[in-house]
């Protein structure tokens, strides 16, 4: 009886070891597959087409404007939805061209929602294809977000997803896992585009060189957004207060700001470096929430990279807002005129870039754009 029990115990120990071995093999196989998937070739344009049914569907036009449109790009606006709704690229280029006596082409590539990593993904495409770019205007916000942009997983280069910040970046694992799946999908779609409904660039469907992001438009869900709507102060006040109340204040000491806002710090610095490497400049534009002239918590970080232009003086003008923090079309045209005048007062931003050391010596670093 004792011998039988000993044999049984030995068999159980051996069988328990095999599942762990198998799990290890499976895990290593998955990691290998993940690594290999990052190098699958595909057409980058196909990435952007995957956003066609999302809130970020206008990023398809942004890619087309950069890559397929031969018209130059001198100034690129690349930020959040406040900049998308608040600055008319055609209006700005008209104002600058008239004042300077030469054509200045401006494009607004901004996306809804926050997350500087997606701005970086677009900036890489921009500087890869557009050596003529002189200035990139980025969004500044009251308090930096901590999360990745929802579209980053779709449009990022695979290695950028792999080497994204991991500390205080709750989207890291999700983005990396999605990138692996995305790579398999994109490789198949590139090889067999017709089978997946993927199409090449069609100039007949292109929105055009001077597409204005501040006009009325159809949203990704098919709803018509009337940018000429004007709300009363009472209608805007509640949503605006709710938005300000939702802002999460810093949790870590200022010494660890680069860790707490890892995504914003990493990719804002990276965009500034891309610009500097190509002789271009970066600047920042802050558009406020209605009735809230909140200070920029990370203003010192922004001003180390470029001038900050602030429109806090419009915060109380309800007739300019289409909701708590976005301009209606007429409001956007006024902001555009103000901003164009502010840029013209800083002529070096529109010409040859000085070195970063020379830039840092200059003061003031923050400009109010309102007359």
Residue range 157-174, pLDDT digits in tens: 999 999 999 888 989 989
pLDDT at 39: 64
pLDDT at 24: 62
Q: What are phi and psi of 263, to 5 degrees?
A: -65, -45
Residue 50: C-alpha distances to residues 189, 198, 223, 352 (Å): 10, 9, 20, 38
- Asked if the structure places residue 286 within a domain, the reply is yes
Task: Give the CATH number of the domain where residue 355 resides.
Answer: 3.40.50.1110
pLDDT tens digit sequence for 56-95 = 999 999 999 999 999 999 999 999 999 999 999 999 999 9
pLDDT score of 353 more than 50: no
As a whole number of angstroms, the distance between CA 323 and CA 88 comes to 17
pLDDT at 143: 94
3-state DSSP assignment of residue 269: helix
Please check whether residue 341 is in contact with residue 371, taking contact to mean a CB–CB distance below 8 angstroms. yes
- Asked if the structure places residue 238 within a domain, the reply is yes
pLDDT at 291: 95
- Asked if the structure places residue 194 within a domain, the reply is no
- Asked if the structure places residue 9 within a domain, the reply is no
Full residue range of the structural domain in which residue 248 is found = 53-152+202-368
- Asked if the structure places residue 290 within a domain, the reply is yes
pLDDT at 340: 96
- Asked if the structure places residue 16 within a domain, the reply is no
pLDDT tens digit sequence for 26-62 = 555 555 556 555 667 778 999 999 898 888 999 999 9
pLDDT at 23: 60
Q: Which of 177, 171, 173, 179 is nearest to 153 (CA)?
A: 179
Query: How many folded domains does the chain comprise?
Result: 1
pLDDT score of 150 more than 90: yes
- Asked if the structure places residue 177 within a domain, the reply is no
pLDDT at 13: 46
- Asked if the structure places residue 181 within a domain, the reply is no
Average pLDDT, the chain: 86
pLDDT tens digit sequence for 249-264 = 889 998 899 999 999 9
């Amino acid at each position: 009886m004792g011998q039988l029990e000993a044999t049984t115990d030995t068999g159980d120990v051996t069988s328990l070891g095999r599942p762990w071995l198998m799990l290890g093999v499976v895990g290593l196989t998955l990691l290998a597959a993940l690594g290999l998937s990052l190098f699958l070739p595909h057409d980058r344009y196909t990435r952007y087409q995957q956003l066609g049914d999302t809130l970020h569907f206008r990023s398809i036009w942004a890619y087309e404007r950069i890559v397929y449109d031969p018209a130059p790009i001198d100034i690129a606006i690349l930020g959040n939805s406040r900049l998308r709704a608040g600055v008319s690229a055609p209006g700005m280029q008209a104002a600058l061209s008239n004042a300077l006596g030469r054509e200045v082409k401006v494009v607004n590539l901004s996306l809804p929602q926050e997350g500087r990593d997606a701005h970086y993904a677009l900036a890489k495409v921009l500087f890869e294809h557009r050596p003529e770019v002189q200035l990139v205007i980025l969004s500044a916000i009251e308090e930096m977000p901590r999360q990745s942009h929802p579209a980053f997983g779709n449009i990022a280069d695979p290695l950028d997803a792999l080497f994204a910040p991991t500390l205080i970046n709750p989207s890291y694992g999700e983005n990396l896992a999605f990138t692996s799946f995305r790579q398999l999908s994109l490789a198949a779609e590139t090889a067999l585009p017709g089978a997946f409904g993927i199409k090449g660039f069609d100039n007949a469907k292109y929105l055009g060189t001077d597409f204005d992001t501040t006009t009325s438009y159809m949203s990704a869900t098919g709803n018509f957004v009337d940018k000429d709507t004007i709300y009363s102060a009472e209608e805007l006040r509640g949503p605006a207060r709710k938005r300000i109340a939702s802002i999460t204040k810093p949790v870590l000491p200022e010494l660890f700001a680069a860790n707490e806002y890892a995504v914003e710090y990493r990719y804002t610095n990276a965009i500034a470096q891309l610009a500097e490497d190509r002789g271009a400049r970066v600047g920042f534009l802050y558009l406020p929430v209605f009735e809230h002239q909140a200070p920029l918590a990370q203003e010192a970080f922004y001003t180390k990279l470029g001038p900050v232009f602030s429109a806090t003086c419009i915060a109380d003008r309800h007739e300019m807002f289409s909701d708590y923090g976005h301009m209606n079309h007429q409001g956007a045209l006024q902001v555009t005129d103000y901003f164009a005048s502010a840029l013209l007062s800083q002529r070096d931003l529109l010409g040859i870039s000085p070195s970063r050391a020379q830039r840092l010596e200059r003061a003031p670093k923050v400009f109010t754009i309102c007359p």
